């Protein structure tokens, strides 16, 4: 047997990757699990540790999340602008420099392949895509973008998120730059210096709180994480609380609330289809998306408040008057509301005042439809 033949064995699982902060998490007693092909901390075993404590800490102070598993891409070259508009339902004429915008990667049938952030930098576009889908995304982009467009995978970069009402105070104390951190409002970004390293910082995140996302070189990650966690407001937070925070914020998670079987209109992501593109189309999957906009989508994503203490999980059937009308796409216990909540994809036209039932292992839980988000967003939109 040679090494080569082993590599070709399809049964051989790819090795789980390690991210720049792997040792840093382990030293802080992060419980490491495999996620999106990497070892990542699901929670920390410390005095503030545990998903509920980490969640509540983020809602009241500031949490530092390592999201280095996500794909950071830089697209540049001749014709990148037109090429990107052929792939994404984005209107780049309205995209100001250094202001991230939410967009969607769609297939030919209008199904969602991924959701992502697009930022115009001086000489190209910076994209942040989901970790679990980044390799497929790279293939999809390479297939649909012309050869003149260079796709640079910034895999030597780490990505951190500092989230919570005290995130600004903590970051402002340690960041330096040509302009003040306060010039950034929600969905604005800029270049700063942190712990002596260059950092791309945007005021954005995935918790519903004010906060920042920080892209740095991999070799700067430990110094930056140490500096931020030395601030009294900041504690490291694992993936478990990241999920419960985004669920309370009503934010969809790719692979759960979004999939190739979901159209963006069903998922309630009309805002991800920029206004001009809603009438002009001309992007991958625009046929179905424009039809859904014109005729209404057959299904809709809703929020559910569940009675009692038992949670409904992804895949549980949603019923109305005994008839199955949809399925739970994300569900769990809300630490802030101290009750179970869920998002579901259900038939369009269900009376929002109606009471639904969820089948959890043969047991029927009662659920009320509620507007999203479950917990109000507290973004810093400025004056």
Per the rule left: phi > 0, alpha: psi between -120 and 50, beta: everything else, 12 is beta
Q: Least CB distance from residue 54 to another protein, whole Å?
A: 10
Question: CB under 8 Å to 155, separation ≥6 — which residues?
Answer: 72
CA–CA separation, 249 and 239 (whole Å):
15
Separation in Å, CA 340 to CA 355, 365, 374: 16, 11, 11
In the bound state with another protein, the residue whose beta carbon lies nearer, of 119 and 334, is 334
Could you report how far apart the first and last alpha carbons of the chain are, in Å? 67
Options 3-11, 65-73, 319-327, 331-339: segment touching another protein (CB under 8 A) = 331-339
Residues from 227 through 266 that contact another protein (CB under 8 A):
240, 243-244
| Least distance from another protein to the Cβ atom of residue 162, Å | 22
- Least separation in angstroms between residue 287's CB and another protein is 38
Residues 275-314 that bind another protein (CB under 8 A): 308-311, 313
Instruction: Tell me the Cα Rg of the chain.
Output: 21
- Contact between 28 and another protein by CB under 8 A: the answer reads no
Which helix (H) or strand (E) segment is 78 a member of? none
Residue 311 CB, shortest distance to another protein, in Å, is 5
Q: Where are the alpha helices (DSSP H) in the chain?
A: 3-8, 22-27, 51-60, 80-87, 134-144, 167-174, 221-229, 239-248, 275-280, 286-295
In the chain, count of helices (H) and strands (E)? 10, 20
Q: Which of 333, 342, 346, 374 binds another protein (CB under 8 A)?
A: 333
Contact positions with another protein (CB under 8 A) in 335-374? 335, 340, 360-361, 363
Alpha carbon distance 268, 345 (integer Å): 10
Residue 92 exposed, middle or buried by CB count within 10 Å (0-12, 13-18, 19+):
middle
Residue of 21, 51, 154, 375 interacting with another protein (CB under 8 A): 51
Taking CB under 8 A as the rule, does residue 330 contact another protein? no
Instruction: With CA atoms as reference, report the closest residue to 156 among 54, 68, 55.
Output: 68
Q: Which stretch binds another protein (CB under 8 A): 16-24, 190-198, 327-335, 351-359?
A: 327-335
Among 46, 52, 151, 369, which residue sits at the site for another protein (rule: CB under 8 A)? 52
CB of 50 to another protein, least distance (A): 5
**Residue 29 contacts another protein per CB under 8 A:** no
Query: Under the criterion CB under 8 A, does residue 323 sit at the interface with another protein?
Result: no
What are the residues binding another protein (CB under 8 A)? Answer: 42-43, 50-53, 55, 240, 243-244, 308-311, 313, 332-333, 335, 340, 360-361, 363
């Amino acid at each position: 047997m040679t090494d080569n033949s082993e590599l070709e064995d399809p049964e051989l699982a790819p090795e789980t990757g390690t991210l720049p902060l792997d040792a840093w998490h382990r030293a802080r007693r992060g419980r490491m699990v495999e996620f999106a092909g990497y070892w990542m901390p699901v929670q920390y075993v410390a005095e503030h540790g545990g998903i509920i404590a980490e969640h509540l800490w983020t809602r009241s102070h500031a949490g530092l999340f390592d999201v280095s598993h996500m794909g950071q891409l830089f697209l540049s070259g001749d014709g990148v602008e037109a090429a990107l508009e052929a792939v994404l339902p984005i209107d780049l004429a309205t995209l100001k420099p250094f202001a991230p915008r939410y967009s969607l990667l769609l297939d030919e049938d209008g199904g969602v392949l991924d959701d992502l952030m697009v930022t115009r930098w001086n000489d190209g576009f910076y994209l942040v895509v989901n970790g679990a889908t980044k390799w497929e995304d790279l293939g999809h982009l390479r297939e649909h973008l012309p050869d003149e467009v260079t796709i640079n995978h910034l895999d030597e970069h780490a990505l951190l998120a500092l989230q919570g009402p005290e995130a600004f105070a903590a970051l402002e104390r340690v960041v330096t730059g040509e302009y003040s951190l306060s010039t950034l409002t929600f969905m604005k970004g800029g270049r700063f210096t942190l712990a002596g390293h260059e950092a791309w910082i945007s005021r954005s995140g995935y918790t519903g709180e004010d906060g920042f996302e920080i892209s740095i070189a991999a070799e700067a990650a430990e110094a930056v994480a140490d500096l931020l966690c030395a601030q009294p407001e900041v504690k490291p937070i694992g993936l478990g609380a990241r999920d419960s925070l985004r669920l309370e914020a009503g934010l969809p998670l790719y692979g759960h609330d979004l999939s190739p079987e979901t159209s963006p209109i069903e998922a309630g992501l009309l805002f991800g289809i920029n206004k001009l593109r809603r009438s002009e189309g001309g992007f991958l999957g625009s046929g179905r998306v424009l039809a859904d906009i014109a005729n209404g989508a057959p299904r809709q994503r809703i929020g559910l408040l569940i009675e009692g203490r038992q949670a409904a999980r992804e895949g549980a059937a949603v019923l109305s008057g005994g008839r199955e009308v949809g399925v739970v796409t994300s569900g769990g216990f809300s630490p802030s509301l101290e009750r179970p909540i869920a998002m579901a994809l259900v038939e369009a036209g269900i009376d929002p005042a109606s009471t639904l039932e969820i089948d959890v292992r043969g047991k029927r839980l009662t659920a009320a439809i509620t507007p999203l988000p479950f917990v109000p967003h507290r973004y810093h939109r400025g004056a």
